Amino acid sequence: MRFERRHAVLLLTVAAWNVFSFGNFARNLWTAYDAGEDRATGYWVAHTILIVVNFAIAAVLGSLGWKAWRATRS
């Protein structure tokens, strides 16, 4: 498959969206934890894992998008 500029833009956009949305989610989760919200430990662990995994996905997509962007320069 040959990457085009539009593929690079899509990958970079999805990566940025993941960082934005899960960064906001992490902030909200921390605010709830800091306020003493009573939840089971599994809740905090599961949601923290979701945040970490999505940041890792964003890093992979961003890296691929950046490589595709550089490869499609004319």
Question: What is the tens place of the pLDDT at every residue in 9-51?
Answer: 999 999 999 999 999 999 999 999 999 999 999 999 999 999 9
Phi-psi region of 36 (alpha: psi -120 to 50; beta: other; left: phi over 0): left
Find the domain containing 62 and state its range. 5-71
Question: What is the tens place of the pLDDT at every residue in 50-74?
Answer: 999 999 999 999 999 999 999 998 6
Whether the model clears a pTM of 0.95, i.e. scores above it, the answer is no
Number of domains in the chain: 1
What is the pLDDT at residue 35? 96
**φ and ψ of 2, to 5 deg:** -105, 125
What is the pLDDT at residue 3? 81
